[in-house]
C-alpha cells in the first residue's frame, strides 16, 4: 500500500526583529509614549494651544523645524513636539536640540535623552536629518530664552547661521515655526548674572514668582498659546558647498528670522489678553 502523502502545514511567519528600546542617542519611545497624556493635558487644557498649519510639517522624510524661543525651561519645544504628535494627520516625533548645559544637571539629563532630545550640536543635527528625522532648533539660543518681558516676541539674531549650514548640507527643508504664549509662561523681569555664574548656568532669570515663591515659583503660568507652522522652505537650489559661504548663510538665516518675526506680529492680535 502506498504511504499517504504528508501534508505540510504552513509555518507561522517569523516575527519582525524587535527594535532596540533605546536608539544611540538614548531616545526611549515607550517611555515617551507613557508621557503623552501629560503633554496633551498641558497642550489642550492648560495652555489651550492652537496649532496652525501643522500639516506643513512633512509626514515623512527629513525636515528642520526653526522656531523662536522663550523660557529657560523648554516648554516651547515640548509643545511643538506635542502639536505634531497630537494634531498632525500623520503623527511623528521631532528631535529637539537642547543647550548642552541642561544635560549637565542630574536627573534632567536622563529625562531629556529618554524623551528624544539631543545636545545642540551640528553633528547631532546632521546625523538625525540624514536618517530622515524631524529636528527642532531654536537659533536664538539662551539669549532668546532669557530675554526680558519688555522685549517679548522680538526675535533675536540667529547667531552665525549654523542651522542654515546644516540644512543646506543635508538638503533638508526648513519649516519656520512661530510660537506665541511661551513669553508669558515665566515672564523675565531681570537677570542676576552673579547667581548664574555661581550655579554654573547660562542665566538666572527673575520672574514675578521666581525665586520669591521657591519651587512654587517654577510653576508655569497658564498663558494662551498659538503655534504656527509655515510652509517648508526648499533649499534644493543651493548646493552643500554653498554652506561655506558665510554671506549667503547669514542672508538666508535672516530671511527665516524675518519670516518668523512677521508671523509673530500676525498672531499676537488674535489674543485678547496673554491669557485668553
Q: 107-139: per-residue pLDDT in tens?
A: 889 999 999 999 999 999 999 999 999 999 999
Q: What is residue 7's predicted lDDT score, i.e. its pLDDT?
A: 42
φ, ψ at 170 (rounded to 5°): -100, 5
CB distance 63 to 175 below 8 Å: yes
Rounded to 5 degrees, what angle do the CA atoms 21, 25, 31 make?
Answer: 40
- What is the per-residue pLDDT for 29? 95
Residues 93 and 134 sit within 8 Å (Cβ to Cβ): yes
Low-confidence ranges of the chain (pLDDT < 70): 1-20
pLDDT of residue 196: 84
Burial-class residue 27 by CB neighbours within 10 Å (0-12, 13-18, 19+).
Answer: buried
pLDDT for position 274: 93
Yes or no: domain 29-270 corresponds to CATH 3.40.1130: yes
Beta bridge mates, 52: 228
Pick from 173, 176, 210, 175: nearest CA to 190: 210
CA nearest to 238, candidates 216, 253, 225: 253
Can you give the pLDDT at residue 19? Answer: 54
Burial letters 87-121, b for 16+ CB under 10 A, else e: bbeeeeebbbbbbeebbeeeeebeebbbbbbbbbe
Q: Look at residue 168 in the predicted model and tell me its pLDDT.
A: 98
Q: What is the pLDDT of residue 13?
A: 57
Quote the pLDDT of residue 8. Answer: 41
Q: Is 269 exposed, middle or buried (0-12, 13-18, 19+ CB in 10 A)?
A: exposed
pLDDT of residue 146: 83
Q: List the domain boundaries for the chain.
A: 29-270
Amino acid at each position: 500500500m502506498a504511504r499517504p502523502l504528508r501534508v505540510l502545514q504552513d509555518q507561522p511567519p517569523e516575527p519582525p526583529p524587535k527594535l532596540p528600546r533605546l536608539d544611540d542617542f538614548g531616545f526611549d519611545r515607550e517611555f515617551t509614549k507613557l508621557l503623552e497624556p501629560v503633554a496633551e493635558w498641558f497642550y489642550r487644557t492648560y495652555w489651550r494651544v492652537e496649532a496652525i498649519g501643522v500639516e506643513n510639517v512633512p509626514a515623512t522624510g527629513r525636515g528642520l523645524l526653526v522656531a523662536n524661543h522663550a523660557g529657560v525651561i523648554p516648554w516651547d519645544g515640548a509643545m511643538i513636539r506635542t502639536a505634531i504628535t497630537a494634531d498632525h494627520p500623520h503623527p511623528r516625533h521631532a528631535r529637539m536640540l537642547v543647550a548642552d548645559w541642561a544635560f549637565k544637571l542630574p536627573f534632567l539629563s536622563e529625562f531629556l535623552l529618554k524623551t528624544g532630545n539631543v545636545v545642540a550640536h551640528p553633528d547631532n543635527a546632521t546625523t538625525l536629518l540624514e536618517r530622515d528625522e524631524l529636528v527642532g532648533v531654536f537659533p536664538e539660543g539662551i539669549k532668546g530664552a532669557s530675554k526680558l518681558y519688555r522685549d517679548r516676541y522680538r526675535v533675536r539674531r540667529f547667531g552665525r547661521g549654523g542651522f542654515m549650514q546644516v540644512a543646506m548640507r543635508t538638503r533638508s527643508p526648513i519649516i519656520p515655526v512661530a510660537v506665541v504664549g511661551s513669553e508669558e509662561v515665566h515672564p523675565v523681569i531681570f537677570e542676576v548674572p552673579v547667581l548664574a555664574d555661581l550655579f554654573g548656568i547660562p542665566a538666572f532669570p527673575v520672574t514675578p514668582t521666581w525665586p520669591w515663591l521657591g519651587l512654587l515659583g517654577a510653576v508655569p503660568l497658564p498663558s494662551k498659546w498659538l503655534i504656527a507652522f509655515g510652509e517648508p522652505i526648499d533649499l534644493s537650489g543651493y548646493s552643500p558647498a554653498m554652506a561655506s559661504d558665510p554671506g549667503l548663510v547669514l542672508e538666508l538665516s535672516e530671511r527665516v528670522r524675518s519670516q518668523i518675526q512677521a508671523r509673530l506680529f500676525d498672531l499676537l492680535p488674535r489674543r485678547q489678553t496673554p491669557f485668553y
